[in-house]
A and B are shown apart, each in its own frame.
Chain A
C-alpha cells in the first residue's frame, strides 16, 4: 500500500500558497482539523478562501484564521457569533458567501464526484436564487447549483491508516468525508494512526484514494461550544 504519512501538520500544509482555496471540515467546533489549523497559523499565508460550514469562535477553529487576517473570503452556511469576523466583514476586508447547508454539502459532494452542477429545491423564491438558472421538473421549481472543488481539503477523522483509509466518530463526521473527496490535495489528521491492515475494510468511511497526506495529531482540545447536561 502507498504510504501517505507525513510527520505533522507543519509538513502537511507546507506547500499551501497565498490565495489558495481551502476546504476545512467540521460542524461548529466538532470534528475540525485542529492540528492543520494550528499549522496554518505558523505561516504568513494571506488571501485564503475558506469553505467551512461555520466560522468557528473568536479564539478557536476557523476563527483563529480570521483573527490572524489570513482569509479573504469565507463560504459558510452559518457564521454565528464571531465578533472578529463581524469586524472584518463590516470594514470590507473579509468577503462572505452564505449557502444553505444542504446545498453546501451537496456542492462539495458533487465536486468530489465529478458532477459539475445539479438542481435543488432549496432557495427557490429567495435571494439565494438570484442570478441562478431555475427549471421546472414534475411541476416543481429547482435551482441550478455548481460543484465546489478546492486546492486543499483539511479534514479530521478518528482513526486512519498509513494508506489514508479513515473512520470517523459520532457527529464529528459531518462535512469531513465530503471534503476529503473535493480537495486536489486532501490532508487528513487523525487521533490514532495505525499500520495498513489494522482497520476493518467493512468499517472504512473514507477510502484512502481520496487522501494524499495523513498524520496523527496530538493534544486534541475538542472544545465544546455549548455544554448541556441532564438536569
Chain B
C-alpha cells in the first residue's frame, strides 16, 4: 500500500516535458516535489498565476503572492499574473494540458465528486467544476477507500457530482486504473505488496483485469 507521498511520486512519473499543469489540493500538491529536475513544466494557480514556485523563505513571504490553498508561495522565473476570468479562460479553453485533482468518489464511467464538505455542509467547490468540464486530461489522486473502509471507486457516485465522464486515470494507494470508454476501472498496475484479491475486495464498481498485472516501480525512497 502506498503512502500519500508515494502516490504523488507515482503520478510525477507520468508528467511530460513542456506541460502546463493544474494541481488540486491534497495529494496532488505533493507531486511538484517529485519531478525530475530536467523537466520543464509550468504550474497554474486558479487565483491568477502561471509559474508556481516552491514555498518562500520566511523573510520572502508576501501576502500578495499565494496559491489557491491560500498558502504563501514563490513565483518561478518567467511567471505571469492575471485575473480570475483569465485564469478560468485558460482552464475552460483547453490550454492546460493536465489537471490532477483529489476526489471523494469516482464512478466507473468517469464521474467525479470532489465537493469540499465539512460539518455536514457543502462548503463549495472552488474551481474544480470548471476544471473537470474542460477538455484537459484529468487524473485523480486519492485513497482507494474512505476512513470507514468503504470504496471510493464506485458504480455510481453517491455524493453530489462535480463532473460527468471526465476522469481518465486514477492513482490510489492500491494501484493505477484507467476508465474504459464503455465503463469500468481497468487495473493497470498494483502497488508493491498489494494483491489483486485485495483490490477486488476494495473496489465497488466494475473492475476489469486483463492479463498479468505488474507491480509498479517506485524509484525514489520515502
User: Hey, which bits of chain A sit against chain B, CB under 8 A?
Assistant: 27-31, 53, 76-81, 86, 89, 98, 100-106, 108-109, 120-128, 158, 168-178, 205, 222-231
Residues of A within 8 A of B121 (CB): 86, 89
Given contacts A98-B122, A106-B89, A229-B57, 15 further A-B contacts (CB under 8 A): A28-B70, A30-B47, A77-B125, A77-B126, A98-B125, A101-B130, A102-B92, A103-B130, A105-B83, A108-B85, A126-B129, A171-B45, A173-B81, A174-B83, A227-B71
Residue of A nearest to B75 (CB): A170
Residue of B nearest to A104 (CB): B84
Complex Cα gap A219–B65 (Å): 19
Residue of B nearest to A223 (CB): B63
Complex Cα gap A31–B70 (Å): 12
Complex Cα gap A119–B195 (Å): 46
Does B88 lie at the interface of the complex (its beta carbon under 8 Å from any beta carbon of A)? yes
Does B160 lie at the interface of the complex (its beta carbon under 8 Å from any beta carbon of A)? yes
Given known contacts A79-B124, A127-B160, A226 and B133 CB-to-CB distance under 8 angstroms? no
A102-B127 in contact (CB<8A): yes
Residues of B within 8 A of A105 (CB): 83-85, 87-88
Does B46 lie at the interface of the complex (its beta carbon under 8 Å from any beta carbon of A)? yes
Does B49 lie at the interface of the complex (its beta carbon under 8 Å from any beta carbon of A)? yes
Residues of B within 8 A of A231 (CB): 55
Does B48 lie at the interface of the complex (its beta carbon under 8 Å from any beta carbon of A)? yes
A171 in complex: contacting residue of B57, B81, B124, CB < 8 Å: B81
Residue of A nearest to B133 (CB): A121
Given known contacts A28-B66, A170-B81, A226-B71, A126 and B161 CB-to-CB distance under 8 angstroms? yes
Residue of A nearest to B84 (CB): A105
B65 in complex: contacting residue of A78, A121, A127, A170, CB < 8 Å: A170
B57 in complex: contacting residue of A103, A123, A173, A230, CB < 8 Å: A230
Complex Cα gap A185–B125 (Å): 30
Which of B34-42, B111-119, B178-186, B204-212 lies on the face that meets chain A? B111-119
Residues of B within 8 A of A224 (CB): 61, 63, 66, 70, 72
Does B162 lie at the interface of the complex (its beta carbon under 8 Å from any beta carbon of A)? yes
A120-B92 in contact (CB<8A): yes
A81-B164 in contact (CB<8A): no
Residues of A within 8 A of B84 (CB): 27, 53, 101-102, 104-105, 174-175, 178
Given known contacts A79-B124, A229-B56, A230-B56, A175 and B64 CB-to-CB distance under 8 angstroms? no
Per-residue contact bits, chain B 51-65, to A (CB 8 Å; 1 contact, 0 not): 000111110011111
A78-B124 in contact (CB<8A): yes
A91 vs chain B, min Cβ distance (A): 13
Residues of B within 8 A of A229 (CB): 55-58, 61, 72
Residues of A within 8 A of B163 (CB): 124-126
B47 in complex: contacting residue of A79, A171, A178, A222, CB < 8 Å: A171
Residues of B within 8 A of A28 (CB): 47, 66, 70
Residue of A nearest to B45 (CB): A171
B55 in complex: contacting residue of A108, A225, A228, CB < 8 Å: A228
B72-A102 in contact (CB<8A): no
A226 in complex: contacting residue of B57, B65, B69, B129, CB < 8 Å: B69
A102-B88 in contact (CB<8A): yes
A106-B63 in contact (CB<8A): no
Complex Cα gap A128–B124 (Å): 11
Given known contacts A81-B118, A100-B125, A171 and B66 CB-to-CB distance under 8 angstroms? yes
Per-residue contact bits, chain B 123-140, to A (CB 8 Å; 1 contact, 0 not): 111111110011000000
Residues of A within 8 A of B46 (CB): 101-102
Per-residue contact bits, chain B 153-186, to A (CB 8 Å; 1 contact, 0 not): 0000000111110000000000000000000000
- Listed residue (B81, B85, B134) with the most chain A CB atoms within 10 angstroms of its CB: B85
Cβ-closest 3 pairs across A and B: A102-B88, A102-B130, A78-B124
Residue of B nearest to A27 (CB): B47
Complex Cα gap A81–B119 (Å): 10
List 24 A–B pairs whose Cβ atoms lie within 8 Å, in order of A's numbering.
A27-B47, A27-B70, A89-B121, A101-B125, A101-B126, A101-B130, A102-B88, A106-B85, A120-B92, A121-B133, A122-B92, A124-B164, A127-B160, A158-B64, A171-B66, A175-B84, A178-B83, A224-B63, A225-B71, A226-B66, A226-B70, A226-B72, A229-B55, A230-B56
